[in-house]
Amino acid sequence: MAPGEYVQQTLAGLDRPAGGVDPALPLYATTFVVVDLETTGGSPDGGGITEIGAVKVRGGEELGVLATLVNPGVPVPPFITVLTGITQAMLLPAPPIEQVLPSFLEFVADAVLVAHNAPYDVGFLKAACAKHGYRWPNPRVLDTAALARRVLTRDEVPNRKLGTLAAYFRTTTQPTHRALDDAKATVDVLHGLIARLGGHRVDTVGEAIEFSRAVSPTQRRKRHLADGLPRGPGVYIFRAADDRPLYVGTSGDIATRVRSYFTAAEKRARMSEMLAAAERVEAVECAHPLEAEVRELRLIAAHAPPYNRRSKYPERMVWLKLTGGPYPRLSVVRGLAPGDTAYLGPFRSTRTAELAAAGFHDAVPLRQCTHRLSLRTVTPACALAELGRCPAPCEHRITPQEYDDRAVAPFRTATTSDPQVVVDALLARIEALASAQRYEEAAVVRSRLAAVLRATVRMQRLAGLTRIAELAAARPAAGGGWELALVRYGRLAGAGVSPPGVHPRPTITAIRATAETVEPDGHGPVPRATAEETERILSWLERPETRLVEMTSVWSSPAAGAGRFRDLLEKAEGGGSHQLSTERS
């Protein structure tokens, strides 16, 4: 990250240690550093700070104070002097901000930073750290102004200015536009606001920070749905009053993820609609994240929750296959039959299947007409035959054997092992079109090449795993021990975790004894699972840290298979046609 570049923190960081503070820490046990700055005005640019006041408190007890004037290195505007009483003469002997920062950063270490209108103060401090080469510790930040907007009504206070809140809570120190006085006043305001949080069921520092952010009335009202959920990996299901699944999700920490739906970071309109209909959240704990991902896919496929978009209809996958008969053609179908031996897929949409079909039609002389051809009867040829784009099997200009050698065999070879012939033909066509400056047509062929390669790479990758009757694998668990998976014909049949310091083999034996029975009675490259499930398993297995423990057969892919064209596929998907003209071998 370049100096001076700031990155907006995500909600996911809320429940990870930041500044050394656990978000589940009770408010009464949390160490707060309440800070206030006086500045020369303007926007944060690494300078302009004239005074820092900070008070460290915990459980209502003052632990320390830091207060200093700061030489900003620039003149103090007259209106600032009138407002704060800080003059240029007072600041001349003061240390510059780069000398103050080390003491301040040490003072705020392992504490929650509190300020009134915190973005202003934090912005100046972060800019100063970036300018002078100090690492910003990224503490959790609580804004008393934002918290007051959530806790206090207009009937109680007309506004949320520090002076107004100090009068309402009768602080022992009144704000004076001097840093330490204002910080001490903010301490009392903070304590007054914390006292009000109990009525909102806000007891921890993480909850207080999230409560201070803008959330909808529905989110606030339904926040209790996240209570009591487990902290481990698994699947969560939002259910309606009639128990219908509304939304299914997965997380490595179910409780943290579900809580995020009731925070200001959740702004999706469809999620707001879902929360309004939700009445409870069901959790399904899993051994590890892979099992959680697979269970999520299966639950979405089984229930089609209305608020899930991805993977909602896995049964809508389509295939590209060769039809039967003496002169086969390519056909897009919804499923494969046991007799189908030449096919490609699965594709996520008919459009992508048709794009791949067009690529094969550009490369090999497969007929494109839908007529049922006969070896006895001649059918009139179409325009493609006249243009030389079809060998006219309809008029018996080519024998079935010649047609098989020139058109059918290249398709079979490309899908099951080596697509070199198809790739070469498409690259030659792209090069010819680009040389003729027909770049738009070349781009169309490039997209067809990408569709062919994407599908062949995917199918051969899936088939390599789904041919294996059983495979056991292990991956180091974050807390020690091993995450274990038992895979049968590309389907997750069992999962578990072996504890630290214990050999995983007994756990694998126990998983095998209770694992799902998977019969090899399906057809195609994903006979017993969805392509998406097998791909999730493949991603887990292919990680460098994963270890293959046992296999009933060899896991292999064709030596001259489609996988060797991955680099070409990346270029076809993202580059111009001129980048492909040099790829012919």
Check if the beta carbon of residue 203 is closer than 8 Å to that of residue 210: no
Using left for φ > 0, alpha for ψ between -120 and 50, and beta otherwise, residue 296 falls in alpha
- Measure the CA–CA gap between 411 and 344, rounded to whole angstroms: 9
pLDDT tens digits along 67-88: 999 999 899 999 999 999 999 9
Residues pairing with 141 in the sheet = 113
177 assigned to active site: yes
Give Cβ neighbours of residue 293 (< 8 Å, ≥ 6 apart).
250, 536
Q: Provide the b/e sequence for 139-177 (b: ≥16 CB within 10 Å).
A: bbbbbbbbbbebbbeeeebeebebebbbebbebebebeb
Residues pairing with 249 in the sheet = 236
Q: How buried is residue 203: exposed, middle or buried, by Cβ count under 10 Å (0-12/13-18/19+)?
A: middle
Check if the beta carbon of residue 218 is closer than 8 Å to that of residue 240: no
Bridge-based pairing of strands 31-39 and 112-115 is parallel
Q: How many of the other CB atoms lie within 10 Å of CB of 235?
A: 24
pLDDT at 268: 85
Check if the beta carbon of residue 34 is closer than 8 Å to that of residue 162: no
- Measure the CA–CA gap between 271 and 19, rounded to whole angstroms: 31
Q: At 408, which helix (H) or strand (E)? A: none
SS3 439: helix
Bridge-based pairing of strands 318-322 and 330-333 is antiparallel
Q: List the structure tokens of 182.
A: 């204002």
Q: List the structure tokens of 499.
A: 């504890």
- Measure the CA–CA gap between 420 and 562, rounded to whole angstroms: 8
Of 304, 301, 282, 303, give the one whose Cα is nearest residue 235: 282
Q: Which of 116, 132, 177, 191 is catalytic?
A: 177
pLDDT at 585: 44
- Measure the CA–CA gap between 479 and 313, rounded to whole angstroms: 35
Q: List the structure tokens of 379.
A: 């059918």
Give Cβ neighbours of residue 253 (< 8 Å, ≥ 6 apart).
15, 231, 232, 233
Check if the beta carbon of residue 321 is closer than 8 Å to that of residue 342: yes
Q: List the structure tokens of 104.
A: 């301040």
pLDDT at 113: 96
pLDDT at 452: 96
Q: How buried is residue 387: exposed, middle or buried, by Cβ count under 10 Å (0-12/13-18/19+)?
A: exposed
Instruction: Report phi then psi at 150, rounded to 5.
Output: -85, -30
Check if the beta carbon of residue 171 is closer than 8 Å to that of residue 189: yes
pLDDT tens digits along 217-238: 788 789 899 999 999 999 999 9
Handedness of CA 516, 522, 525, 531 (dihedral sign): negative
pLDDT at 315: 63
- Measure the CA–CA gap between 497 and 507, rounded to whole angstroms: 7
Q: Where are the beta strands (DSSP E) in 213-267?
A: 234-240, 245-251
Averaged pLDDT score across all residues of the chain: 89
Report the interhelical angle of 118-132 vs 97-108 (nearest 10°).
120
Give Cβ neighbours of residue 496 (< 8 Å, ≥ 6 apart).
287, 484, 507, 508, 510, 511
SS3 488: strand
Handedness of CA 168, 173, 176, 177 (dihedral sign): negative
Contacts of 460-464 with C-beta under 8 Å, sequence gap 24+, read 460/416, 460/417, 460/525, 460/557, 460/558, 460/561, 460/562, 460/563, 461/538, 461/557, 461/563, 462/490, 462/525, 462/526, 462/531, 462/534, 462/535, 462/538, 463/525, 464/555, 464/556, 464/557
Check if the beta carbon of residue 98 is closer than 8 Å to that of residue 141: no
- Measure the CA–CA gap between 303 and 437, rounded to whole angstroms: 51
- Measure the CA–CA gap between 334 and 121, rounded to whole angstroms: 60
**Rounded to 5, what percent of the chain is helix, strand, coil?**
45, 20, 40
* Mean pLDDT per 10-residue segment, the chain (585 residues): 36 42 89 96 84 96 95 92 93 94 94 95 94 93 92 91 96 95 97 90 86 80 91 96 96 92 83 94 97 96 89 76 91 89 92 96 92 84 80 88 94 95 95 94 95 96 95 94 97 96 94 94 87 95 95 92 93 68 48
Q: How buried is residue 46: exposed, middle or buried, by Cβ count under 10 Å (0-12/13-18/19+)?
A: middle
- Measure the CA–CA gap between 260 and 186, rounded to whole angstroms: 28
CA atoms within 13 A on the CB side of 208: 31
Question: The whole model's pTM is what?
Answer: 0.69
pLDDT at 16: 38
